[in-house]
Amino acid sequence: MLTCRALQICKTVETMKNTANGKVALQVVAGTAAQPVSGRQPPRRRPNKELRVREYLTSVEVETLITTAQKRGGRYGLRDALAIRMCWRHGLRVSELCALTWSHIDWPTQRLTIHRAKGSIDGTHPLSRAELKGLKALQAQQTGRHIFMNERGAPMTETGFRKTLATVGVAAGLALPIHPHMLRHSCGFYMADRSEDVRVMQDWLGHANVQNTVRYSQLAPGRLDKARAPG
């Protein structure tokens, strides 16, 4: 016997004529969509500005993260510190980081090819000495085509890096809750705060629209340091 709830659901559906492939199409009757039993709406996601004072880290804070990750020791200390450094230096999204393979590195020219996500523009970046040292050490410790691997020998996942970074952030004693995209923002603000050319920043971060780059210049922490304000 159908319950009242089941009868209510049945009333919201009308059977239409069979389609060409023999399947039956269903149409929901307007105005009868099922509502939550309690009548309550799901909790609203709090805006980032309510969770964090800012969405970027200073260079000192990022270096603290890298040092803390290194102190964890072992292969994963090296891996995590290098992942943080590369995310920051190249403004990588977490998906771009996890997708990196050894074929992305051109050892003779010491450059990294980056395949950007979300419709952004691919680029080729020079690797720093610290990165080259870390990459060579990491390559000597593992096998596989991906640069960043997990303990099961599979490519590091986005969720795995998010959890690792959050753990390192707590261990480092940073007041802000840390997430990977903050490293990309930190790269943009670092360059803007040093008056880097907007077009160079655009190419470095892979922005298809320069307006996405301009916001870093507009919000750069040191942009107004020399403003001739009263007081």
* Helices assigned H by DSSP within the chain: 4-10, 48-51, 59-71, 74-90, 94-98, 129-139, 158-171, 181-193, 198-205, 211-219
Task: Look up 93 and say whether it is catalytic.
Answer: yes
Catalytic residue among 52, 115, 125, 181: 181
Task: Look up 75 and say whether it is catalytic.
Answer: no
Are 132 and 107 a contacting pair, CB within 8 Å?
no
Catalytic residue among 90, 93, 116, 146: 93
Catalytic residue among 56, 184, 185, 190: 184
Task: Look up 133 and say whether it is catalytic.
Answer: no
DSSP result, 77-94? HHHHHHHHHHHHHHT--H
d(CA 131, CA 126): 10
Task: Look up 23 and say whether it is catalytic.
Answer: no
Task: Look up 89 and say whether it is catalytic.
Answer: no
Task: Look up 152 and say whether it is catalytic.
Answer: no
Strand-by-strand arrangement of the 123-126 sheet? 105-106, 111-114, 123-126
d(CA 8, CA 32): 9
Are 91 and 212 a contacting pair, CB within 8 Å?
no
Catalytic residue among 146, 185, 190, 216: 216
Catalytic residue among 17, 44, 49, 118: 118
Structural element, H or E, at residue 143? none
Are 191 and 204 a contacting pair, CB within 8 Å?
yes
Residues forming the active site:
93, 118, 181, 184, 207, 216
